[in-house]
Homo-oligomer: A and B are copies of this chain.
Amino acid sequence: MSDKQPNQYLDESQHVGLVESLSYIHKDLFELENGQLDGFTLAYEAYGTLNEDGSNALLVCHALTGDHHAAGIRKDPRTEDLEQKPGWWNHVIGPGKAIDTNKFYVVCSNCLGACQGSTGPASLKPDQEEERYGMDFPEFTIHDMVHAQKKLLEHLGVQKLFAVVGGSMGGMQTLQWIVDYPSFVERGLVIAATPRHSAQTIAFNEVGRQAIRGDEAWNQGGYDTENGPTHGLGVARMMAHITYLSDLGMEKKFRQKPDCKQNEDLTKVVNSYLGYQAQKFIDRFDANTYLKLTSALDRFDLVGKRGLDDSLKGVLSKVLVIAFSSDWLYTPAQNQLVTESLHRLGKEASYLEIDHTHGHDSFLIGSEDFLRAVRVFFSGMDKKEEREQNLGRFRQVSSRYDVKKEADFKVIDEWVSKGQRVLDLGCGRGILLEYLRDSKQVQGLGVDFDRSKAISCIARGVSVYQQDIRHALANLPDDSFDWVIFSRMVEELPEPGAVILEALRVGKRVAVSFVNHAYWRNRLNFLRRGKRVQNEVYPHRWEQSGLRNHFSIEEFEQFCAESQGHGHSFEIGRKVFHQGDWVKHCTLMPNLRSGLAIYELIKA
């Protein structure tokens, strides 16, 4: 080590500290989807300690051009000096971090077929001293990568994975893991991935491959390592690099530089930035490996001929999919496909969309929401969060139903039976679903558009789809839930009638709770003052208020009757009316005397 300042990454209270690259050598014949290998090596790193029953292991999968150095600081193998930069996910993995090495035994391997120490196209053929695989290397797949990682984990004594996590190609490996080894993986965290490449993504990869193959130095893959197709590889990298960023992110990055006000100057800066990226890549990556790896990505296809649901039907893991708003390579919509398929199949799956301007590469960059989501998915709420959220927690207030916010929860709680499937539309922080799960082993799914609330659901262990209610409902099969719940949220929907009828398609029963706008105090108040009452239920004056769609018990029943008349087969079951205090029950003249109504609609 040199006599520099002590390296901050060596501080083991903050980081995983000094790490070294290890190798697992698999000596036996290894069957691939398209061919076989006469043994292979996987380079890997591991952080934290495997517990006695081998159940706290967490596998991290890297992206296309990443490697197994995910956290901590390494020595440069040539100089023995500490490297300048820590591993690529050092801000995520470490003691007390989102992936907590005090809790988890974290393993990251360079994937099979890559070129940072694992066996791939750039490796020497077995028992050869000079001849490399090159294009003779089999057309390996994401499945092969995962299969090889499984061998490594067995070697390390891992009995079961607490979780697999990865972004981009790492996310696809995660998907492959939960498909191939359902009972081995408890949780899967899929980040910025896709169940298959879109035509656009394939097209970009194809252009990159053509740039390499058209470079004369490529020589049908038979270049020698010192004289590879650097031009083609550089062009492929530069183009791909653009797809990892975003239009807005690039504007922010470059326009803030001095002397980049005019495009004439900006062009030079962009030119030199891309050239630098290309050179860094050429120095560390191999062209044939790039060809084979991008082909493996393009070939990855969980949709295929039989559809995504068929691929995912055996999944047993609890899944969280995280997408980034500005990711135009693996878009939020592509990520949603995974969650939606799992929901159709009745699996435990959640979806979050994190706001970030960095495009696809956002998963490599810390952001508060992202780190919180990762942490709570693996470790639940921390004590601070529990304190903050306890106030609103159903289990805390279940003896005080006078809290207006949850006045309808008691009724719904009574209606729902043990082990039923419940869809909560506008689920907020997941308080009701958490309670129903803990008290009645209900299988719940929440839908809420609010990211912060959705993350709180994850922290509670409640599955949530961060999505518009209409969009979420449209995905779900007929009769796939015992209950669909609208807890005081119909008022916030434009044209809510159609949504209620759609809920009746998805659920066997629908519970609708709403504020009865025809409550006598509202009427008198409006008669006298000509304006809406302002209280806990209507907290804002018109000029600060969001838009609403108030209705009354009578109007609701009229809607039900007319819908039935139009051929919608359901009937009104139980009804519960609360008085203006939302506590005492009300039986006489509810449209006049009731402040809160809760209806059960039963599909015929």
Q: Which residues of A contact B (CB under 8 A)?
A: 196-200, 202-204, 206-207, 210-211, 214-216, 231, 234-235, 238-239, 242, 245-247, 250-251, 253-255, 261-264, 266-267, 270-271, 274-275, 295, 298-301, 304-305, 328, 331, 492-498, 500, 517-519, 522-524, 526-527, 529-532, 541-552, 554-555, 559, 591-592
Contact = CB atoms under 8 A, between A and B. Distances in A.
A209 B546 CA distance: 51
A211 B199 contact: no
Contact of A497 (B270, B498, B544): B544
Closest 8 CB pairs of A and B: A518-B530, A497-B543, A547-B547, A199-B250, A263-B301, A542-B551, A214-B231, A199-B254
Contact of A274 (B203, B235, B517, B527): B203
Contacts of A255: 199
A250 B200 contact: yes
B527 A271 contact: no
A549 B549 contact: no
B531 A551 contact: yes
B242 A214 contact: no
Interface centre among A270, A524, A592 (most CB of B within 10 A): A270
Interface centre among A199, A231, A263, A529 (most CB of B within 10 A): A199
B262 A203 contact: no
Contacts of A547: 492-494, 546-549
B270 A202 contact: yes
Given A206-B270, A498-B543, A526-B526, 13 more contacts: A198-B251, A206-B274, A239-B239, A495-B546, A496-B543, A497-B543, A500-B543, A518-B526, A522-B526, A530-B555, A531-B552, A541-B555, A543-B559
Contacts of A271: 206
Given A211-B235, A527-B523, A299 B263 contact: yes
Given A235-B210, A300-B263, A203 B545 contact: no
A434 to B, nearest CB: 30
A205 to B, nearest CB: 8
A496 B531 contact: no
A114 to B, nearest CB: 21
Given A261-B304, A305-B262, A331-B247, A545 B495 contact: yes
Contacts of A529: 518, 554
A387 B364 CA distance: 59
A245 to B, nearest CB: 7
B206 A542 contact: no
B549 A531 contact: no
B527 A554 contact: no
A267 B527 contact: no
